A and B are shown apart, each in its own frame.
Chain A
Amino acid sequence: MARMKFICDAERCIECNGCVTACKNEHDVPWGVNRRRVVTLNDGIVGAERSISVACMHCSDAPCQAVCPVNCFYKTEDGVVLHDKDLCIGCGYCFYACPFGAPQFPQAGAFGLRGKMDKCTFCAGGPEKDGSKAEIEKYGRNRLSEGKLPACAEMCSTKALLAGDGDVLSDIYRERVMRRGRGGDLWGHATAYGRPDTKATAPAVQSIPQKS
C-alpha cells in the first residue's frame, strides 16, 4: 500500500507560486484560505535564498488529529490525513498544534469567528462519495480517486514539488541528488538564479563593481 507524501526540492523551487495557483484553481478555494503557500527564507540575500512550497504534510502522528475535540480527522489507507467538515466545530485547536500552518479557517462572522477548517486534502477529497457534488463543494476535487496525483505537484514547472508514494519519491530524489550539478540539471534554482560555483553564471548583482 502506498504512503502518500510531498517533497519539495529546495534546489529547484523558483518561487513561481504555480503550485499555489494550481491548488486554488483546482479546488475553488475561497478567498482568504490558502491550502498551499510558498515560503522564501533569506529573500534577496545572494547565495542564502531558498524557497519551499508547504502545505499539509499528512503526518503519520498528526498533531491536528490528536488535539481535535470532536475527533473529525481520519487517515486514508494511503496515509492521507483528511477531516470531516460536518463534524468540525471551528475551534482552531488543529491550527495551534500544526507546525506547518496547514489548517485554514474561513472567517464566519465578526471578530475572526472561525468557520469550518479547510486544508490540503492531497487532492483526495473527504468522507463524501468520491467525486460527488457534496465532496467537490466541501473539499474540492478528488483527483486521487481518478488515478491522478495532486494538482500542485503536477503543475510544478521545475518539478521541485513532488507528490506520490514515499518510496517512489525517495528513489527520484536520491537519483536527483546523485546527478546534481551535472548534465541533466537543467531546471531549478541554479538555472534561474545562477550557479554559485562558477563565475560565468554568478548572479548579476555580484559582478557590479563597487564604487569607491
Chain B
Amino acid sequence: MKHLIACLSALLLACAVNAQQSSGPALPKDELIKQQQQRVVTQPYNNAPFWKEARGAVEGYASIPAPEAGVLIQDGGQNWRALRNGTFSIIGGWALVAMMLLIGGFYAWKGTIQLHEAPTGRLIERFTLLERMAHWATAISFSVLAISGLILAFGKALLIPVISFTLFSWLAIIAKNLHNFLGPLFIISCIVTFCVFLRDNWPKAVDFKWLVSFGGLINGKHVPSEKFNAGEKLWFWGGLMLLGIVVGASGLVLNFPNFGQTRATMQLANLVHLTGAVMFMLGAMGHIYMGTLGMAGALDAMKTGVVDEAWAKEHHELWYDDVKSGKVPANRSENGGNAGAGTQQPVAVGGNN
C-alpha cells in the first residue's frame, strides 16, 4: 500500500510538471509578436522576442504534413526523461523488488495455507469454462505484457551488461512486438472477465468486516466471505477495472501513434502507463501468490473449475451456505444457470449434418 501511495504521488507530481510545461511562454504569443515588430525598428537584428516564442513551443508553419512539424522546441521531453529514467524507474523498480521480498517473507512465515478439515470428496462448481477461459486469457496476456514491459524498462540496466547489445536488441524487438500486439487483446479479455465476474463481485456490507481484519490472514481469526472475499473484490474493482482502464487507455495512446496525438500527450501517457503497470504488477504478484503458493486448492479451482465442499466452507462460507440452501446451483454449467456453456453439458447444441 505504501508503494501504491508513493507511485500515486509521483504521478500527481508528473501531472503538475506537465501542466506547468504546457502553460507555454511567459508572455502570450500576440504580445511577443508585437514586441518583435517593434524590436526590428528600434534594435534591428535583435530577435529576442522571436526566440522567446520559439522556446515556448509555439507552433509555426512547416511545409511537412506531420504532427507538430511546425514546433521548433518541445521541452516536455526533458521532464519526461528525468521522471522516466529517474523517479519512476527507481520507485517502480524497488517497489517490485520490495513486494517480492514481502511475499517471500510472508511465505517463510505462513507457508502454504492448508485446509483444516479433511476433503469431503463432494465437489462444487466454482468457475464455469467461460469464466476460466476469460481468466486465463487475461492472466496469460497480462504475464506476457508484464515480462515484456519489464524487459523494455529495465533491460538496459540489467540485461545489456549480461547478454550485450545484439542479443538484447533481439529480445527487445520480440518484447516490443509482443507488448504492442497483446495489449489490445489484454484489454478485450479484461472487458470479458469484468462482465463474467461482475455479479459475484458486487460489494456487500460483509466485505468491510473482512477488510478490517484483512481476512483473518494476520490474526488467524475466521471471517466468513461470499463467493469472492473482499480482497478478491478489491482486486476486481481496483485492479481489473480501474488499473485496466488506466493502463489500457494510456497504452492505446502509445500503441497507435497514427491519430495525430502530440508528444506532450505521449509523454504523459507513458508516465501514467508506467505507474499503472507497476501498481498492476504489485497487485498481480499478491494475487498470483494467493492463487498458487499461498493457498492450497486455489489454483485447482481455476484449473478444473471445481472445489471440494470443505474448501468452500472454510474459505467462502457464505457462498457455501448459498449453495447448500440451493440459492446458487452447485453445478451452474449443467443447470444452465450462467451465460457460459460448460464442457460438462452432455447435450450437443444445434447439431448439423
Contacts and interface: CB of A to CB of B under 8 A. Distances in A.
A17 B40 CA distance: 24
Given A10-B51, A47-B36, A91-B172, 20 more contacts: A37-B63, A39-B62, A40-B60, A43-B61, A47-B41, A50-B47, A70-B155, A86-B169, A88-B169, A89-B169, A90-B176, A91-B152, A96-B77, A96-B270, A99-B77, A101-B71, A101-B263, A111-B258, A113-B180, A197-B41
Given A37-B69, A39-B62, A90-B176, A99 B78 contact: yes
Contact of A86 (B63, B166, B267): B166
Contact of A34 (B66, B70, B153, B263): B66
A52 interface: yes
A47 B81 CA distance: 37
B256 interface: yes
A54 interface: yes
Contacts of B156: 68-71
A72 to B, nearest CB: 7
B173 interface: yes
Interface string A42-63: 1101111010101000000001
A140 B84 CA distance: 32
Interface in B42-69: 44-45, 47, 49-51, 53-54, 58, 60-64, 66, 68-69
Given A45-B33, A99-B77, A69 B72 contact: no
Nearest to B169: A87
Contacts, number: 150
B288 interface: no
A101 B69 CA distance: 7
A136 interface: no
Nearest to A47: B37
A37 to B, nearest CB: 5
B248 to A, nearest CB: 16
Given A66-B85, A87-B169, A45 B37 contact: yes
A42 B165 contact: no
21 contacts: A34-B64, A39-B60, A39-B61, A40-B70, A41-B50, A41-B60, A47-B41, A48-B37, A48-B40, A52-B54, A68-B156, A69-B155, A70-B156, A86-B169, A88-B169, A89-B173, A89-B176, A91-B172, A112-B256, A112-B258, A195-B44
A68 to B, nearest CB: 8
A41 B166 contact: no
Contacts of B173: 89
